[in-house]
Amino acid sequence: MTKIALLMCICEGELDIAHDALSSFIKCCQGEITLFLVDDASPSYVGQSLADRFIQQTGSKAHCLRLPKALKYRGNAQRTFLGLQSIRDVGRDFDLVVKLDADALVVREGLEEEMAAYCTDGCGLYGETFNMRLCDRVLFSSDLLPFGFKRKSVNGVIERRWQLSRTFPVWWSDFGYRGIRGGFRFNCILGSFWFMGWKTFCSLSDRGYFRRDQSKHGFVFNDDVLLTTAVHALKHPVVNLGQRSFSWKDTLIIHEETVQVNALWSRKPFVIHPLKNTPVSWRLRQEFKMLAAGQGDQPKAPLRAYIEDVQKAGSSSK
C-alpha cells in the first residue's frame, strides 16, 4: 500500500468544501494516508476541526500547523512551503507527497494506482500544467535581478502594491537561476493538485528550500511557480499529465457556469477544480458524484437552468 503524505492549506470559511474534498480523496485513493494541514490563522480553527474529522473518519494520523497570523492570498508560497517542511519534521518516510486544494474534488477511484504508475522511481513532480502569462513572466524575470521592485508587505503580509525598494536578491534567486538552466520555461504544475516522488521531496528539503525565510521577496508569491522552478533546479522530471492522458487534460481549471458536465465526464477525470463554496459549485459536486455512482444520466434539473435560477434569485434579492 502506497504511503501518502497529503497536504492541504485551509482558510476561514473553507471547512465544508475542504471536508468534501478530503472525503473524496479518501474514497478514491486507497493508500495509507497521513494528513498535513496548514491553517491560515482562522478564527474558528477550521484546520483542527478538519483534522479531528479525518481522524474520526479514518483512524489515521493528522497534523495541523496553525499559523500565528493570516498570510492571506499572496502568502500561498509561504503556506505551502511551511506545510511541506512540516511533513519532513515528523521524521517519517512516505512514497508520495500529494497536495490537494480545499476547492478540488476527486471523482474517480483508482487514484493511488494512477499516481504510482507514473511515479515509479520516487522522482518527479506530476500534475496539469499552465503557461504563465506574459506579464507574470516579466515579473518572474525581474525578480532574478539583484535589485529592483518588490511587493509591499505590512506586518509580514504581502500586498498587491509594489515599491522600488529591493536592494537584495530574492529568497529563491539561487534555485531560480538553476531552474532556468534545468529547463524551466514558464510552464508550471498547477498548485490545486499535484503529486511528488519522495526522493524529489527529500532533495528539496535537504537543500533547505522549505524552511527558508521568505521575507526577502520580490513580485512572485505563487507556490506552483516556485515549486516547479525548484524541481527543475534539481533536474528532476516535471511531468504534464495533461499531455499523457485526457483524464488529466483541462480538468483543474474549469469554469462553474460554462462547464459541460457530460463532456468533461466522458474524459474520465480523476480530479476536478475549482468547485467553490457556492450554490452552483455544490450542484456540480452533486452531479459529478451522481455520475461517479452511475446515477447521473438523468439529473433532477439541467445545470444551465439551475444556474439561471440561482442568478435570478440573486438579482431579485438586490
User: Could you read off the pLDDT of 229-287 as tens digits, one per residue?
Assistant: 999 999 999 999 999 999 999 999 999 889 999 999 999 999 999 999 999 999 999 99
The one-letter code for the residue type at 68 is: P
Tens of pLDDT along 31-68?
A: 999 999 999 999 999 999 999 999 999 999 999 999 99
Domain assignment of residue 309, yes or no: no
What is the value of pTM for the model shown? 0.92
Domain assignment of residue 312, yes or no: no
What rounded mean pLDDT belongs to the chain? 93
Tens of pLDDT along 82-94?
A: 999 999 999 999 9
Radius of gyration of the chain (CA): 20
Domain assignment of residue 12, yes or no: yes
Domain assignment of residue 15, yes or no: yes
pLDDT at 304: 47
Its domain, for residue 35, covers 3-281
pLDDT at 114: 97
Average the pLDDT over 131-145 and give the result.
Answer: 98
pLDDT at 256: 87
DSSP 166: E
Lowest-confidence region among 110-114, 155-159, 233-237, 302-306: 302-306
Number of structural domains the chain divides into: 1
Among the listed residues 131, 105, 77, 140, the one whose alpha carbon sits nearest the alpha carbon of residue 242:
131
Among the listed residues 14, 17, 66, the one whose alpha carbon sits nearest the alpha carbon of residue 40:
66
310 or 53: which leads in pLDDT: 53
Domain assignment of residue 304, yes or no: no
Domain assignment of residue 140, yes or no: yes
The one-letter code for the residue type at 66 is: R
pLDDT band at 318 (very low <50, low <70, confident <90, very high): very low
pLDDT at 307 over 50: no
The one-letter code for the residue type at 78 is: Q
pLDDT at 148 over 80: yes
Phi then psi for 126, rounded to 5 degrees? -130, 140
pLDDT at 257: 85
Contact 258, 237 (CB under 8 A): no
Domain assignment of residue 313, yes or no: no
DSSP for 98-154?
EEE-TT-EE-SS-HHHHHHHH-SSS--EEEEEEEPPHHHHHHHHHHTSSSEEEEEEE
Domain assignment of residue 287, yes or no: no
Contact 299, 290 (CB under 8 A): yes
Q: Are strands 238-240 and 62-66 parallel, antiparallel or unpaired?
A: unpaired
Taking the C-alpha atoms of residue 261 and residue 302, their distance in angstroms, rounded to an integer, is 10
CATH number at residue 262: 3.90.550.10
